[in-house]
Structure 1
Amino acid sequence: MSKIDKETIKKEHKKRQDEFEEGDIDNVLEDEEAIKSKFENKGKLQRYLDDAMILFSLLKDYANGNYREVPFNVIAAIGGALLYVLSPIDLIPDFIPIIGYLDDAAVIAFCLNLIEKDLITYKVWKRDGA
């Protein structure tokens, strides 16, 4: 695929979000280290490492029942995006030098934009002594 446009990213993320189920939260958390390693030293994806840490924190608090003030579609958006990063089958294969992680970064950026308000609310809850 030579061009990744916003609509393509949106469709891919929506597909992953729609397929994500409650039981998939455990899968994401079990693969946390593998997913985080994709963010470390991977060009465009590296800038989202801190965001990934917050996303994992939110998933953990949701899974543990500590934070449920977020609709499941937000959890599905996060889980779908994080699993996309781990998936070897995506729009641009990760093994392609330089551009292999552009689509992963675009999916994470799209997810962050989509859930921005919920993420801010979670950060305030976490900061205020969760």
Structure 2
Amino acid sequence: MDERKKRKAQRKFEDQIKKVKSEDVEKVLKKREEIEEKLKGQLRKFIYEIKLLFELLSDFKGGKYREVPWHTIAATIAALLYVLNPLDVIPDFISVVGQIDDAFVLGLCLTLIEKDLNKYKVWREERKEEKTS
């Protein structure tokens, strides 16, 4: 993806983050299967991260994990909705090329929330250890 399209995708993603509302958590969770199905193609390398993002959203919504800033939740929702949108910066119906911006936005999101996602992973592992003890 050229720099102009990267900047456009990044601006669109940042605008979407600002628009996310708390009810969007449920909206994204309901579209989990649809989003994961879309990722089976060219974006399958993100499957582990996407599953982790959905678990984070689910634990946040369920009140199990609240030690995460809203910006991280909003960035996660914005990225997942971006992937679902077939008419983003590069329309998805343009075969493989159409998913390049989706991969860019997912990568950008994962970079932005990396510290919070790592904290969540540690929290999950600690809970698993507590259950097996």
TM over 0.5: yes
Q: Distance in 1 between matches of 2:9 and 2:66?
A: 28
For the residues of structure 1 that align with 2:95 and 2:33, how far apart are their CA atoms?
22
- Aligned-residue sequence identity (percent) comes to 41
**Structure having the higher Rg:** 2
Indicate the residue corresponding to 1:73 in structure 2: 71
> For 2:96 and 2:90, how far apart are their aligned partners in 1?
11
2 CA distance for matches of 1:74 and 1:9? 18
In the alignment, the residues of structure 2 paired with residue 46 and residue 113 of structure 1 have an alpha-carbon distance, to the nearest angstrom, of 18
Q: Which aligned runs of 4 or more in structure 1 are off by greater than 6 angstroms?
A: none
5+ residue gaps, structure 2? 129-133
Helix, strand or coil at the partner of 1:100:
helix
Q: Which residue of 2 aligns with 1:53?
A: 51
1:4 deviates by 2.2
5+ residue gaps, structure 1, are: none
Q: d(CA) in 2 for partners of 1:111 and 1:105?
A: 10
Is the helix fraction higher in 1 or 2? 2
Deviation at 1:97, TM superposition (A): 1.6
Contact 1:92 1:99 in 2 (8 A): yes
The code of the aligned residue for 1:106 comes to F
Amino acid at match of 1:4: K
SS of 2:97's equivalent in the other structure is coil
Q: Does 1:101 align with 2:99?
A: yes
Normalising by structure 1, we get a TM-score of 0.92
Aligned residue number for residue 38 of structure 1: 38
RMSD: 1.5
Q: Offset at 1:127? A: 0.8
Measured in 1, the distance between the counterparts of 2:94 and 2:30 equals 26
CA distance in 1 between counterparts of 2:33 and 2:96 reads 22
